[in-house]
Structure 1
Amino acid sequence: MAMPSEIMKTTTEREDKHPEVVSSEIMKASAQSQSKHPKVVHLLDSVKKTAFVVGTALLVFAAARNSITWHLQQFWGASGDFWQRQWTFIYQLFGEDDVFIGIWGTLGFTTAVFWLANLLFLLIDITGKPAALIKYKIQQDKNIPVPFPKLMKAVQQVLFNQIILGIPFSYVAYQVMQWRGCSHKAEDLPTFQWVLLEMFVFSLVEEICFYYTHRLFHHPRVYKYIHKRHHEWTAPIGLVSIYAHPVEHILSNILPPTLGPVLMGSHLATSWMWFGVALISTTVAHCGYHFPLIPSPEAHDFHHLKFNQNYGVLGILDRLHGTDEVFRTTKAYQRHILLLGLSPLTQQIPDDTKDKKSNISKGKLE
């Protein structure tokens, strides 16, 4: 224990020093403390960033919600009878059988959405035509056209995942949704405000679950056994979005978008709408083309090229954890915007020749 005289001596010595020297010592001590506890510092930094992102989102939503919800609700309210009639028709088409529509209807709907969303992309990938669309290819020297044996291998795995894994998963998901009290009837269709809230929650739940399961599959002890299959495609195509090892398909592809509706106890119609959005979104993210007026696939395309960047769906957790730092220094990040014109972004913001060669060689090494 320090004696009073020692404490006074230390205090006197500190007071005798120039304020800038004392400040320097304090900063040095703080830096040493941070270096001893890097995980704690990084966690606090992530919490601060999370609070900033969420707080900003809430402020924007609070400012815009009256205008946005008014316009959308006019459409929703005016077409409410239309949507109810359509769901009534679908429900009756399945004989008003909750098991039939809950299991087989969901499986059929998601399968149809996936293949319809991939139809145009497959046509371009297989034929390399129309040539006018090839200019929108992100990695312009890859998969034009796609090697047929490689494509057939992907198709077989996709069908296995959709059918052999999809049927039992749909059965289990139906049982859980029934336990949660999820309705199938047209008279129970939710209001516009509730659907809006649900879609927001679904997106956040998917972002959290997909990000962390995806990072888990990139762990060196796991990657070569499971996730490496998905990364056989360094230049992805839409079909590759569910080309994955069965374990990955369950934990990363199916479970994250399913947990949101389970958590919220959602109506089946809302779940179908969300599943459709999620399937189209992941197809676009893997498609390899940055077409006008569609969400940018640059981030996930870069992930397939570099392997260790952009693990999430929305990019929120990538920013919080710093797993997009390299991406944000590239031309690909500058191109990560909604294309509103007809001129390809690869022409508007071209890669430097030196950087392009470096990126390709590094992608091959990894």
Structure 2
Amino acid sequence: MALAIFLSAAAMTLIVGLRYLVTSGAFAFATRLRHPALYAGLDRQIRREIGWSLASAAIYGVPAGVVAWGWQNRGWTRIYTDAGDWPLWYLPVSVLLYLVAHDAWFYWTHRLMHRPALFRVAHAVHHASRPPTAWAAMSFHPVEAITGAVVIPALVFLVPIHVGALGLVLAIMTVMGVTNHMGWEIFPRFLHSGPLGAWLITASHHQRHHQLYGCNYGLYFRFWDRLCSTDKGLGDFAHGAVASSRSRR
């Protein structure tokens, strides 16, 4: 049993690592096509981001592998494969439940990471990316990676979800994590600056967090930032680029 769990964890680590490399690599390539000079002079930073991210992949892979083994061999989780086990209307509801729960967890743990002691020990690794790039999505100190690695595995023990819906949650988590750090907006204006953008987080919103630090802590939604008065609006990509340029001189 121990060997099977180890192999499952190793396989999930490989999957998470490849998912990161493919997704971040694709959006980094899109950045090079759309904004060829945006990551100029950041080669050393990007190598550091990739190194921390691959270490984080191992931390994310271990609980994911244990959960995958338990689901397949022991029925530990509430993941189901037959869409008829729950009403069809529950499929999108379950996705929303996971995103809302993940967002709440992320907001409060992220805000905690900005306490001076934890910031120095752990979160400073992520903020060393100035400006962040598409490779920075998983660039975490192991302490911070652990806080991010446990939330989805914990939810599958509590909230029923179809395996396909879970895959969608993981895809949204991956894409949002990468695109929020790209340094430019890949989404259309109505999504980030219109009425919908008042509640959704995209790169414009997260850019302000990397500029000012003490604000805009959310992952998917602006609900907690608005409720707790930590929402400081959308960031200025040009300002971020200028600040980064000065910091490298």
* TM-score class normalised by the smaller sequence: 0.7 to 0.9
| Counterpart for residue 93 of structure 2 | 197
Q: Which runs of 4+ in 1 moved over 6 A?
A: 98-102
For the 8 Å contact 2:10–2:62, the answer to whether it is kept is: no
2:222 matched to 1:315?
yes
Secondary structure of the 2:186 match is: coil
Once the two structures are superposed, the pairs formed by residues 24-173 of structure 1 within 5 Å of their partners are 107=13, 109-123=15-29, 129-130=32-33, 133-134=34-35, 143-163=38-58, 165-173=59-67
**Letter paired with 2:169:** W
1:110-149 per-position Cα deviation (integer Å, ceiling 9, x unaligned): 4444333222332255xxx43xx118xxxx8xx5325222
Higher relative CO (CA 8 A, sep ≥ 6), structure 1 or 2?
2
Per-residue CA deviations over 1:247-290 (Å, capped at 9, x if unaligned) read: 10110x32334433332133333322211111111111111121
Gaps of 5+ in 2: 193-201
The answer (yes or no) to whether the contact 1:308–1:323 under 8 Å persists in 2 is yes
Correspondence for 1:228 among 124, 127, 133: 124
- Does 2:144 correspond to 1:237? no
Give the 3 Å change call, closer, same or farther, for CA 110–275 of structure 1 in structure 2: farther
Structure 2 CA distance for partners of 1:221 and 1:104, relative to 1, 3 Å: closer
- Secondary structure at 2:118 match in 1: helix
Q: Is the 8 A contact 1:188 1:267 kept in 2?
A: no
Percent identical across equivalent pairs? 16
Contact 1:113 1:276 in 2 (8 A): no
* Greater radius of gyration (CA): 1
RMSD: 3.4
From 267, 288, 294, give the equivalent of 2:183. 288
Deviation at 1:300, TM superposition (A): 0.8
Distance change >3 Å, CA 168–CA 100, structure 1 → 2: closer
Q: How many residues align?
A: 228
Which residue of 2 is the match for residue 277 of structure 1?
A: 172
The equivalent position to 1:264 in structure 2, one of 150, 159, 169, is: 159
The amino acid of 1:297's aligned partner reads: A
Distance in 2, Cα, partners of 1:100 & 1:267: 25
Q: Does the 8 Å CA contact 1:217/1:226 hold for their aligned counterparts?
A: yes
Structure 1 stretches of 5 or more lacking a match? 1-97, 336-345
Partner of 2:108 in structure 1? 212
Does the 8 Å contact 1:110/1:275 carry over to 2? no
